[in-house]
Amino acid sequence: MSAQTQLRRKTVRDMAKAKGGQPLVCLTAYDAPRAALIDPHCDLILVGDSVGMVVHGLDSTVGVTMDMMIMHGQAVMRGSQSAFVVVDMPFGSYEASPQQAFENAARIMMETRCQAVKLESGVYAEETVRYLVDRSIPVLAHVGLRPQAINVDGGFKAKGRSDDERQRVIAEAKAAESAGAFGVVVEGVAEDLAAEITELLSIPTIGIGASASCDGQILVTEDMLGLFDWTPKFVRRYGNVKGEITAAVENYASDVRGRAFPGKAETYSLNSEKSLKIPRVDD
């Protein structure tokens, strides 16, 4: 494909234009084939640290490493053409200092060629977000329910139930905007809180379990495709991938055991009417 015919990849400016307009369509991807499938329909693809649970079978996102995020980020960039690609910064890669965050964020962007990074941002992260943005690294913030904080929270718990907690989530979102984040993922909060945050901020909010009040929506692709038996309350299933895979594998196993596969159509054979001519040295 020539440079003239390649699709233009979306930019931070395209994300900013979504504020108050047509909602951003966002999904996760961790490999090239999945990225290629969702790319034509998505504004933003997140290479989420949810890969630890969805792909690697971990019980939380805490065990995800930089090498894992970079490997999956590279695959998604190969498979996508037009979506804005954001890669999660894993637990332990940015909390120690702004300098640590920059080194790891720069590595992610250099090795994957993604367009931005995402980090879970309490008020403490304001300095870090500003440090990254000032050094040309676009940042998507993440407030509300923060999966990397599972060990402090004692599980995946919705946020904003008390007035103090509500004000804390609002403060986190405002701090991220003040520091220069181009957008904020708002996870696991009540509709009125999501609406208030969206109204307060001049940057787009992307909801996950935060109602249709946000400027965009994101889901873990495997959740909405029905790959797992259990999904969070905020997920709507748009497919039954688990059922399709199960049926296909059952049919394959039956055909193999019954010697119905491979059949004639899947088997190579020599055409006896044609002979292979092996060239001689003196030809």
Enzyme catalytic residues: 187
Residue type, 133: V
User: Taking Cα atoms as reference points, which of 49, 16, 43, 11 lies closest to residue 27?
Assistant: 43
108 vs 115: CA distance, rounded Å: 10
46 vs 87: CA distance, rounded Å: 6
Spatial contact of 121 and 112, defined as CB atoms under 8 Å apart: no
Residue type, 206: I
Any residues with CB less than 8 A from the CB of 147 and at least 6 apart, and which? Answer: 49, 50, 60, 61, 120, 156, 187
Burial-class residue 52 by CB neighbours within 10 Å (0-12, 13-18, 19+). buried
19 vs 1: CA distance, rounded Å: 33
Work out the number of other CB atoms within 10 angstroms of the CB of residue 25.
17
Indicate the helix (H) or strand (E) that contains 265: none
